Structure 1
Amino acid sequence: MSIQPRTARPVRIGVLVPLTRPGWVEAGRHLLAGLELGVGEVNEAGGIGGRPLELLVRDTAADPRRATAAVDELARLGVAAVAGEYHSVVARAAATRADALGLPFLCSSAVLDALTEQPTQWVARLPPPQSHGWRVYADFLLGAGHTRVAVAAEASVYWAAGARILRDHLAPRGGTVIELDARAITPAAVCEQLVEQRATALLLLAGFPEPAVPLVRSVRRDHRLAEIMVGAPAGQPEFAEWARSLGDDGTAIPFLRYLPERLGPLGARVGAALRERLAETPSFVAFEGYDTIAVLADVLRAHGTERADIAAAWAHVTVEGTRGQIRFSRGPGTGVWQWDRAPVQIVDRDPAEPGRFRIRHTG
């Protein structure tokens, strides 16, 4: 009796990333670089029980409808799980659809608290929820003496949630949030409002490059606002495109990122590999991509490739990631499995050396 050779069918993971406008293409590129590096290392180590790990990548272009359609397609193609996405509103659409289909979704880089309308066993997330990170940012503002804070915000569930978190955290501590419509008024009018309202800080709750870049340029060139702090909680200054667009004007703008003060041996090794792959300094988003694969590979090896088994395994994850040990818990207010110890920093670009980041606060 002859034994027929077995074909090692790949274990497929669906990936959602913004790779075209209006999505933040640079964030998508960094996220995908981390995911691909992780997959390459898994396959070099023998894959998943001898089966190679394969990514099926779909471009969301920051469009929730495209993300929903992609989840449907990937489910039909038989992926074991879906991962990725940077934009919170898009991730919410993907998570909602994955929950409805009974398809595990590991959210790599989106922070909106309520990823699904109701609690679900199917969804887990690596970055901290927005309510945590933005409260840390509010504490940073208070510690720096900023109690009259203006926000130039666009119409979005994500931006509205951010403004609400800031307002709810600052108000009981003597702070005031002044809301300005970033699309309805010109950058010059924003400057007039900052002067009139006696704001000491302006936070950019707005997209890049429009309207964030014109707003920064306008404020930086107004001598009346020489002492005002410009901030970007959502992390726009993390990427090299910000520095290329704004030069010196883009420095000293504090933002949230999810890295520890010092990377351990794994993080340092992965960081060097990511730098070589990207030909630039890797962002925290690239590390999130790598950690996504580290978690999924551990789950697949230990619990198998069936979708229900993957979802049931979120509670048992203990993985050494690039930014610390990853475990999931059911945190209040999110309804998903959440890494509850993701590191949070507030950093900015050093005016003396725009390519260097200064840590301003940790939380």
Structure 2
Amino acid sequence: MDSPPSPPGAGRTQRSSVKIGALVPLTRPGWVEAGRHLLAGLELAARDVNGAGGIVGRPLELVVRDTAADPQRAAAAVEELARLGVAAVAGEYHSVVARAAAASADALGLPFLCSSAVLDALTEHPTEWVARLAPAQSRGWRVYADFLLGAGHSRIAVATQPSVYWASGTRILRDHLAPRAGSVVELDTCALTPAAVCDELVDNRTTALLLLVGHPEPAVSIVESVRRDPRLAEIMIGAPAGQPEFAEWATLLGDDSAAIPFLRYLPERLGPLGSRVEADLRERLAEAPSFVAFEGYDTVTVLADMLRSHGADRASTAASWPLVAVEGTRGQITFSRSPGISVWQGTGTPIHVADRDPAEPERFRILHTG
């Protein structure tokens, strides 16, 4: 797709700008709402960077490409962005897509700061070229497993679809729950209708169902079926991947959207920077910003600081991940090496389990803090 209008300050000659490529799912089958929030954060941060003088006097320009949740399209976009001379690549929401983009960036020697994808193995081998802002899946989903145990749930069912991401999540849950007398049964939604999923929940005497499936379908249909089945009145529905964070979830499900716990990467209270950015994002989006929008903002903030401090040379940028110490919207951002994680991993991002309040679905409740 063509790039959207450049942020303020980028109207000078194209040669004088410092370019950052931005990968965002903006069309189906990508999660368009997540992509819209991610792009809003990226664009707002670029505007703020340029309002503060750009990159040592040079305007920052975002070059946006729509991945549409397609790994091959993302890999091709990274190759194109490299030819266009971007200093780095930012963004992406879908883990499987981000993995393809990371492989391409690593092969080309192009710094890539992934905003939102959490899959631990973003690359097949350790790399200096790729970093990730969001917490790794192994960390966040273990927090979610602790929440389940604390809430009295040890017999868990997961409604799944074929995906490296969903399979990884299932494995993390099983490995964490098994030593604590917990069990996980997988329900293949490619073979089971929503009604059949309900039957399996009854037969297996599970107390919690986790939605490891696409949004809006089959997630919405499964929720509706479970909520309307009198046999399952006491079962908890969960969505660790964060589907209930977005307004579309509440619009599609109404009252059924509430009381479905999910992982959320926001602090209990935002500081001055976070509060200011939240207000700006709310105006830009015409709705409450999700944590994905904050991830987008922080991604450009980090890259801009690196480019100011170390220049736009790609090798210098890649060498500076361990030197980052930037104040983000949700706290201090640094990067480190973590066991089992092949990329530079952002540290300090808050994690909690939240849901929509049944009494007021537009309001979020914090249920557990990791």
Name the TM-score class by shorter chain: over 0.9
**1:208 has 2:215 as partner:** yes
Q: How far apart in 2 are the matches of 1:104 and 1:231? A: 35
**8 Å CA contact 1:251, 1:354 repeated in 2:** yes
Q: State the partner residue of 2:205.
A: 198
Instruction: List aligned pairs for 1:250-289, cutoff 5 A.
Output: 250-289=257-296
Q: State the partner residue of 2:236.
A: 229
Q: What secondary structure sits across from 2:231 in the alignment?
A: helix
The CA deviation at 1:281 is 0.3
- Amino acid across the alignment from 2:301: A
TM-score, normalising length: structure 1: 0.98
TM-score, normalising length: structure 2: 0.96
**1:86 has 2:114 as partner:** no
- Amino acid across the alignment from 1:13: I
Select which of 293, 307, 312 maps to 1:300.
Answer: 307
- Amino acid across the alignment from 2:192: I
Q: State the partner residue of 2:111.
A: 104
The CA deviation at 1:341 is 1.6
Q: What secondary structure sits across from 1:327 in the alignment?
A: strand
Q: State the partner residue of 1:356.
A: 363
Select which of 171, 174, 180 maps to 1:173.
Answer: 180
Q: How far apart in 1 are the matches of 2:51 and 2:216? A: 39
Q: What secondary structure sits across from 1:138 in the alignment?
A: helix
The one-character-per-residue Cα deviations of 1:260-284 (angstroms, maximum 9, x if unpaired) are 1110110000000000100000000
Q: State the partner residue of 2:25.
A: 18
**8 Å CA contact 1:16, 1:83 repeated in 2:** yes
**8 Å CA contact 1:331, 1:340 repeated in 2:** no
Q: What secondary structure sits across from 2:348 in the alignment?
A: coil
Instruction: List aligned pairs for 1:129-144, cutoff 5 A.
Output: 129-144=136-151
Q: How far apart in 2 are the matches of 1:133 and 1:341? A: 12
- Amino acid across the alignment from 1:75: A
Q: State the partner residue of 2:316.
A: 309
Q: How far apart in 2 are the matches of 1:128 and 1:49? A: 30
Select which of 115, 118, 123 maps to 2:122.
Answer: 115
**1:42 has 2:49 as partner:** yes
The CA deviation at 1:340 is 2.1
**1:74 has 2:81 as partner:** yes
Select which of 165, 171, 183 maps to 1:164.
Answer: 171
- Amino acid across the alignment from 2:36: R
Q: How far apart in 2 are the matches of 1:117 and 1:213? A: 34
The one-character-per-residue Cα deviations of 1:191-240 (angstroms, maximum 9, x if unpaired) are 00100100000000000011100000000000010000000000000000
Q: How far apart in 1 are the matches of 2:284 and 2:180? A: 45
**8 Å CA contact 1:183, 1:211 repeated in 2:** no
Select which of 218, 242, 247 maps to 1:240.
Answer: 247
Q: What secondary structure sits across from 2:320 in the alignment?
A: helix
The one-character-per-residue Cα deviations of 1:110-143 (angstroms, maximum 9, x if unpaired) are 0000000000000011100000000000000000
- Amino acid across the alignment from 2:76: A
**1:182 has 2:189 as partner:** yes
The one-character-per-residue Cα deviations of 1:287-331 (angstroms, maximum 9, x if unpaired) are 000000110110000000000010011010000000000000011
Paired positions, count: 358
- Amino acid across the alignment from 2:235: I
CA root-mean-square deviation:
0.9
Instruction: List aligned pairs for 1:315-334, cutoff 5 A.
Output: 315-334=322-341
The CA deviation at 1:49 is 1.0
Q: What secondary structure sits across from 2:16 in the alignment?
A: coil
Q: State the partner residue of 1:338.
A: 345
Unmatched segments (≥5 aa) in structure 1:
1-5
- Amino acid across the alignment from 1:39: A
Unmatched segments (≥5 aa) in structure 2:
1-11
The CA deviation at 1:167 is 0.3
Q: How far apart in 1 are the matches of 2:32 and 2:140? A: 23
**1:217 has 2:224 as partner:** yes
User: Which contiguous aligned blocks of 4+ residues in structure 1 show a shift greater than 2 angstroms?
Assistant: none
- Amino acid across the alignment from 2:330: R
The CA deviation at 1:183 is 1.7
